A and B are shown apart, each in its own frame.
Chain A
Amino acid sequence: MPRKVKPFKKGRWTLRTDLQDFIYQNINPYEGDASFLKGPTKRTLALWKKVEKLFDLERKKGGVLDIDTEVAGGIISHGPGYIDRKNELITGLQTDKPLKRAVKPVGGVRLVERACEARGYKLSPKLKEIYTKYRKSHNDAVFSIYSAEMKKLRSLGIITGLPDSYARGRIIGDYRRPALYGLAYLIKEKEKDLIKIDDNMSTMAIRLREEVSDQLQALKDMLVLGKMYGCDLSRPAKNAREAIQWTYLAYLAAAKESDGAAMSIGPISVFFDAYLERDIKAGILTEEKAQELIDDLTIKLRMIRQLRAPEYDELFAGDPVWVTIVLGGMTGDGRTKVTRTDFRFLNTLQNLGPAPEPNLTILYSPRLPAGFKKFAAGISINTSSIQYENDDLMRPLAGDDYGISCCVSLLKAGSQIQYFGARCNLPKALLLALNEGRDEKYGELVVPGVPKLKGRYLEAEQVRENFNYVVAWLAKQYVKTMNVIHWVHDKYYYEAAQMALLDTNVDRLMAFGIAGFSVVVDSLCAIRYAKVRPVRDKKGITRDFIIRGDFPCFGNDDERADNRGRDLVVSFITELRKTPIYRRANPTLSILTITSNVLYGKVTGATPDGRKAGSPFAPGANPMFGREKNGVLASLDSVSKLPYYAAQDGISNTFSIVPSALGVDAGIQKANLIKILDGYFTRGGQHINVNVLDKALLQDAMEHPEKYPQLTIRVSGYAVHFTKLSRDHQEEILKRTFHEAL
């Protein structure tokens, strides 16, 4: 017998837009185990089977099933589209057909043209004409502004992978707002905000007024998108299904409008849980149906696709979109944010099998309920599809309601954005310091004024001085380049749908990054503790290094190396802070490479740590392969020592272990993984990817990809289908340290 649906508990959130308060008032913490969970229904399995077939077709067609080359993507450009209309509980596709990708030429028409050609398609001449003759694209605009120096740093691979040739992404709209408040209310609020922006029509005010007008248009387009799928988004969601549907459509609007590199969906789980539990209590929903809704949403999120240019694939392998969902965490008042719906999301990995998307991220604290930890550890061991991030470290910065952007980057929900800035190739910076500011590949002068090194061997003090000089010079160029990119991005490729679902006056971060971290730390150690003689060519450029003697390496809990790592991070962010930043954004720093460690390594000459020219860097903040001599905990401890306060955009660590090294049986393996996570996060580690795999399995998957369509592996802040990676990327993963049993 259905009972009356109990209204949500009121609070500040009823007076103004405040999702954190809504959650605070209506959270249902769950401290039990996984025994309440249900398997997939017949309907779910039938629908999933259809989607798997489409995935298979997509794979066979080389990774892209279809492209609409005629219509530029936007919130209401396409649709409605269905997989199997009668059997879908949550509806909405990016175009009129599943897995068909739309073009977004406003990002860069030549890039879209190349992306089409790489897949055997041709961009419509009409679109080409529009975005060449009448409308400037983001990519064209950036290059019309770049200085000669910026172009040089970019083309030599020193500051690279920048969002000047793809959309920056990283913004997380608060997609829950339409469900809780309805679009009519949100439109009214934005209209009020618009009236208030005046400031004597300063440049800032003019820009913001234009942006808010764009946001209002986006909200109105969302209403139309809702209508296409028979949903009245003007009003709040009445039940759990509607809450999930409304939220998904808001996300869909963003994914249709923009092809940002990473488009996370934020803290939706605890929000959905309030609705699901309310419906279950009222007797209008069963556990089976609740799981079905989460399964159905997950199917949709696994189908999000963007058209990428080949250059992009080299940086970010495996066709990722980073639909990052955060689960777990604690509230400031000591309750857990773990709900039954967090279990349900993890359960999708069992019901539908492992997959890289959505990017399930557990906000971890040793205080999380034991039942949840145990369930998550088991899923990690079985699927290698989960990442963990330190809630105790991030909560004090972000409060109780935050999401993870892309892989490891903290963003307050609804009130904070970041300007993404890829990364600086630090080993190249070191080589500039050793070569009088000349690039090690072509001998071209990049950084003026770097003194020549004296002596046959590298001398630590001289190298340090030169390196600091180069870092300071590069940091300044880096900030300037980012200022250009994001000014242009805001102007030419503004993410109106996402920004419409955020506060009008957002807090801005500018996220810088470094790649090749452990290569540089080890190189500095080699120069300090061993004898390193550079081998120089006729022009005096270093070609190789001869190393005599031992030196400490990062990843061994050796303070000599780890202290150098700390210094490196702190000095880089300190330099970045010296140059004024666009829109007064606060600079942050990440030690995260995603999969670009392979590409960055490829374009970088030999380094003083003994790494050969062209070979990959370790990913993120990982120690270099094969240099960890003291086992797992020492390796983890070196990474956990890196100061988060200096790298608040995230410190990524990818950890791979063979199952037998974790313990003799499944129960012990789970218990030990929990102990490792508890220890790592107590020690202040920020992020960890957990892979529990045998190398032999990956080797087999390289030879017989058809046998492993769902084999998923965490790479650097995200997961991929192993078989979707290029050979280069697969080989790099095999080179990584797989911690083995004694």
Chain B
Amino acid sequence: MKKTGQLHSIETLGTRDGPGLRCVFFLSGCNFRCKFCQNPDTWTLKGSQKISLHALYDRLLRLLPYLQKDGGGITASGGEPSLQPGFLIELFKMAHNMELTTVLDTNGSCEPKYISRLLAVTDTVLLDVKASTKKLHKELTGGELEQVLVFGRRAAGRWARQGRPVLVLRRVLLPGINDTSEELEKFARYALSLDKQPAVELIPYHSLGAHKWKELKMKYPFAGLKPPGVKEWGRAAEFLKKKGLTVYKG
């Protein structure tokens, strides 16, 4: 049982990552190096704070009147939260004891031996599938696609059998890069092949995180990339909808 974790920051009012009001914990450390990352400051443990479950319990207890309604709760994001599986599982268990829902925002790289224990305490999985071809995924994120797909498959399987966790597939839409018909075709095929069909959240890429790269004295690889317009987003959404998927804007 892991009682402490490495925390980057807390955003107490999340209104986007799941139902109700959510307290979002950004855990430090990431094993991917996405070229369009908005939070490169969460990649390493530098500047993170060691935080005890006990301290988070006190904090959540005070926020309960805000969070308990309409399925609100906590969201674990990062960084990659599943890199601290022991702590994360305890955190989610604690939230459930407080009648709060749990949302996991993940890149799907959880170590296999922890997956089922983690899924057992998760109400919603927001799984980032940043690309659907092996090569592009590696190029964009530095990580392997296969583990992501496996994680999604296991989440959907559990969802189908036990009614939880709900799975949402997310994609940050990079115009001309991961919205090609080959990419979208593969993405749709994967989503439809799962035991239960997930909704798809298409998030238009934006460059608001670029200044953080500068602060960290790193070169922002996508300096020239323009965010997708309404048309480009609509085209991708339409493509997926035609395949029978539910799509919404993130």
Contact = CB atoms under 8 A, between A and B. Distances in A.
A590 B183 CA distance: 61
B23 interface: yes
B66 interface: yes
B66 A679 contact: yes
Given A633-B21, A672-B21, A679 B13 contact: no
Contact of A683 (B10, B11, B21, B62): B62
A668 B21 CA distance: 10
Nearest to A634: B12
Interface residues of A, number: 27
Most buried by A among B21, B66, B69: B66
Contact of A633 (B9, B20, B63, B70): B63
Interface string B6-35: 000111111111001101100000000000
A683 B67 CA distance: 12
B59 interface: yes
Given A637-B62, A671-B70, A631 B15 contact: no
B229 interface: no
Interface string A461-495: 00000000000000000000000000000000000
A680 B67 CA distance: 11
Contact of A631 (B12, B65, B69, B72): B12
A614 interface: no
Contact of B16 (A629, A632, A664, A671): A664
B124 to A, nearest CB: 16
B16 A633 contact: no
A664 to B, nearest CB: 7
A393 interface: no
Interface string A526-567: 000000000000000000000000000000010100000000
B123 to A, nearest CB: 18
A610 B13 CA distance: 27
A742 B16 CA distance: 8
A671 B23 CA distance: 17
Most buried by B among A676, A678, A679: A679
Contacts of A632: 12-13
A662 B15 CA distance: 6
Contact of B10 (A630, A671, A672): A630
B15 A661 contact: yes
A630 B9 contact: yes
A663 interface: yes
Given A632-B13, A664-B16, A675 B21 contact: yes
A525 B10 CA distance: 21
Nearest to B11: A631
A286 B12 CA distance: 47
A739 B58 CA distance: 23
Nearest to A683: B65
Contacts, number: 73
Contacts of B59: 557, 634
Interface string A435-475: 00000000000000000000000000000000000000000
A206 interface: no
B63 A672 contact: no
A663 B63 contact: no
Nearest to B24: A742
B9 A742 contact: no
**Interface class of chain B by DSSP:** mixed
**Interface class of chain A by DSSP:** helix
B169 to A, nearest CB: 18
Interface string A633-669: 1110100000000000000000000000111100010
A631 B13 contact: yes
B12 A675 contact: no
Nearest to A669: B15
A741 interface: yes
Contacts of A633: 12-13, 21, 23, 63, 66
A682 interface: yes
A297 to B, nearest CB: 36
Contacts of A680: 66
B76 to A, nearest CB: 14
A630 B59 CA distance: 11
B12 A679 contact: no
Contact of B9 (A629, A637, A682, A739): A629
B153 to A, nearest CB: 28
Contacts of B249: 664
Contact of A637 (B24, B63, B69): B63
Contacts of A672: 15, 21
A742 B70 contact: no
A53 B72 CA distance: 48
Contacts of B13: 631-633, 661, 676, 739
A207 to B, nearest CB: 48
A663 to B, nearest CB: 5
Interface string B66-81: 1101101000000000
A635 B59 CA distance: 12
Given A664-B16, A679-B21, A739-B13, 13 more contacts: A559-B58, A630-B12, A633-B12, A633-B21, A634-B10, A637-B63, A663-B16, A664-B15, A672-B15, A679-B66, A680-B66, A742-B11, A742-B24
14 contacts: A557-B63, A633-B13, A633-B23, A634-B10, A637-B12, A661-B15, A664-B15, A672-B21, A675-B70, A675-B72, A678-B65, A678-B66, A742-B17, A742-B24
Interface of A: 557, 559, 629-635, 637, 661-664, 668, 671-672, 675-676, 678-680, 682-683, 739, 741-742
